[in-house]
Amino acid sequence: MILINRQIGKVLLSEALEGKNDLDKAFYISLMELKAKAIILKADAIIELSHGIELPTPGSQFLQMQMYGTAVKFK
């Protein structure tokens, strides 16, 4: 479960990803996008978080990550 903090810090994305490999960057960006969508829905948490990774094939330069979960609101 990922608890949603509605006060997003003003950390620059470039600072947060400095020195990280492509897989770490893809995971971080996917997680931030998922959190942003949960905030729009006014969710308190994301449960059942899952992700899939498609690594680059020879001749390809792109790494693809898919992340999803269920946004929930506590009573």
| pLDDT at residue 73 in the model | 92
Instruction: Find residue 70's DSSP bridge partners.
Output: 47
| pLDDT at residue 10 in the model | 46
Q: What is the pLDDT of residues 14-68, one digit of tens each?
A: 666 777 787 888 888 888 888 888 889 999 999 999 988 888 888 888 888 889 9
Asked whether residue 74 carries a pLDDT value surpassing 70, the answer given is yes
| pLDDT at residue 12 in the model | 54
Residue 4, φ and ψ in degrees, nearest 5? -95, 125
Cβ atoms within 10 Å, residue 2? 15
